[in-house]
């Protein structure tokens, strides 16, 4: 049953399987295990980024396409929910219309980008997507009447998802059963379904063709596959999943602006998470997303504790000052790439292969 659920793509490593189980259970029970507001926000962001990074891995890791327009589709999903909810008011109909409209816009844009750009060389495609994403960011920042400009849009979600909606008067195991609780589990199950769907796609015959194109596009073309068609379809699928991730982010934040979903920093985070977790695995999005976002969210707090412990030591107190948390985050990234060049998932699978007894 589990093998079928994971599309016959098991982790193939006992420790990797255990780590994935711990992560899934940890995210599933976060409201009960870590009832604080910050922990819940971090867990929700992890869920969103797992979907976002997995969708980018579908494009980069499985098809070999480098695109810098991924945050554009992420932003389209977030703006679709924000604009529809702002203009139509809080309601499930507004959410559905916003998500559907965002998916249509992303479908058309990704199709146009794919058809007109994927015939060029990889570096030129990457530059084209960067230019398109930059233009879209500028457009979103300047269309104040429609997108809220630099200030963004605040909106209300359906009453069932609002923090003020209480389902039980008393907390259950420390967790308040309210609209925020329901929204979190909506994100959790949506992320679970989307990741399993992407696993199914990459392990289907279509996914095998994408991997063949990644390895040698000339050979794939020579045996009869229209590489441009498959690359375009991969680009469209990746964009649609990124759009859904953006919708989930807007639903959780009840706000969206250019810096929230369209900034180039998000694109850099996606690239870092893919490299840390491992390209071409989907599981890498889960591992990398958790590691990166936990470090991003809690490294500064840990450094504050370390700085207070060595307070008064001239050099050491300056080195581990909380203001230098980005420096240490960069060092951790460099070390992870050095020790795990194929990502955490790739490295763990390699260890599994190296210790397996030879078949007789």
Residue 1 has pLDDT above 70, yes or no: no
| Mean pLDDT of the chain, nearest integer | 86
Nearest Cα residue to 148 out of 44, 250, 243? 250
Tell me the C-alpha distance between 324 and 328, whole Å.
Answer: 7
What's the pLDDT score for residue 360? 44
pLDDT digits (tens, 9 = 90+) for 7-34: 777 777 788 889 999 999 999 999 998 8
pLDDT digits (tens, 9 = 90+) for 96-142: 999 999 999 999 999 988 877 766 667 778 888 888 899 999 999 88
Of 43 and 296, more confident: 43
Model's pTM, two decimal places? Answer: 0.91
Residues in the chain: 360
Give me the domains of the chain, ranges plus CATH numbers: 2-355 (1.10.3470)
Percent of the chain residues topping a pLDDT of 90 = 39
Nearest Cα residue to 296 out of 337, 328, 263, 252? 328
Mean pLDDT over 154-174 rounds to 87
Scan for tokens 């794919």, then name that residue: 114
Of 315 and 149, more confident: 149
In the chain, at which residue ranges do the beta strands (DSSP E only) sit? 153-154, 255-256
Residue 352 has pLDDT above 60, yes or no: no
What's the pLDDT score for residue 326? 74
What's the pLDDT score for residue 266? 92
What's the pLDDT score for residue 120? 66
Percent of the chain residues topping a pLDDT of 70 = 90
Residue 162 has pLDDT above 70, yes or no: yes
What's the pLDDT score for residue 316? 66
Mean pLDDT over 32-51 rounds to 92
Instruction: Classify 175 as helix, strand or coil.
Output: strand
CA-CA distances (angstroms) from residue 114 to 52, 120, 125? 19, 10, 9
Sequence-separated contacts (24+) of 261-265 with Cβ below 8 Å: 261/71, 261/74, 261/75, 261/77, 261/78, 261/79, 262/71, 262/72, 262/74, 262/75, 262/133, 262/136, 262/137, 262/140, 263/71, 263/137, 264/68, 264/71, 264/133, 264/137
What's the pLDDT score for residue 314? 66
Structure tokens that stand for 251 in this block: 């639903």
How far from chain centre, in Å, is Cα 328? Answer: 23
pLDDT digits (tens, 9 = 90+) for 193-248: 999 999 999 999 998 999 998 888 888 888 888 888 888 899 999 999 999 999 99
């Amino acid at each position: 049953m589990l093998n079928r659920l994971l599309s016959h793509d098991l982790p193939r490593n006992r420790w990797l399987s255990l780590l994935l189980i711990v992560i899934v259970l940890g995210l599933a029970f976060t409201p009960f295990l870590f009832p604080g507001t910050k922990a819940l926000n971090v867990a929700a962001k992890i869920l969103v980024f797992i979907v976002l990074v997995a969708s980018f891995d579908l494009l980069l890791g499985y098809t070999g396409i480098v695109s810098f327009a991924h945050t554009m589709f992420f932003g389209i999903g977030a703006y679709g929910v924000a604009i529809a909810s702002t203009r139509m008011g809080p309601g499930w109909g507004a959410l559905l219309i916003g998500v559907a409209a965002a998916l249509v816009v992303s479908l058309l844009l990704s199709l146009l980008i794919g058809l007109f750009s994927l015939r060029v060389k990889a570096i030129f495609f990457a530059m084209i997507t960067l230019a398109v994403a930059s233009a879209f960011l500028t457009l979103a920042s300047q269309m104040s009447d429609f997108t809220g400009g630099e200030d963004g849009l605040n909106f209300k979600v359906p009453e069932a998802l609002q923090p003020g909606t209480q389902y039980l008067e008393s907390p259950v195991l420390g967790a308040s059963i309210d609209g925020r609780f329901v929204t979190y589990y909506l994100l959790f199950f949506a992320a679970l379904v989307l990741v399993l769907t992407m696993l199914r796609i990459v392990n289907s015959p279509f996914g095998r063709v994408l991997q063949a194109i990644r390895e040698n596009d000339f050979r794939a073309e020579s045996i009869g596959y229209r590489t441009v068609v498959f690359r375009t379809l991969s680009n469209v699928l990746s964009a649609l999943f990124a759009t859904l991730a953006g919708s989930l982010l807007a639903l959780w934040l009840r706000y969206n602006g250019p810096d929230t979903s369209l900034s180039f920093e998000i694109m850099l985070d996606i690239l870092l998470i893919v490299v840390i977790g491992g390209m071409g695995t989907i599981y890498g999005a889960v591992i990398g997303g958790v590691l990166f976002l936990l470090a991003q969210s809690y490294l500064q707090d840990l450094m504050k504790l370390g700085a207070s412990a060595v307070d008064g030591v001239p050099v050491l107190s300056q080195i581990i000052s909380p203001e230098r948390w980005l420096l240490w985050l960069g060092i951790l990234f460099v070390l992870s790439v050095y020790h795990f060049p194929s990502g955490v998932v790739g490295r763990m699978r390699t260890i599994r292969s190296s210790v397996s007894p030879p078949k007789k």
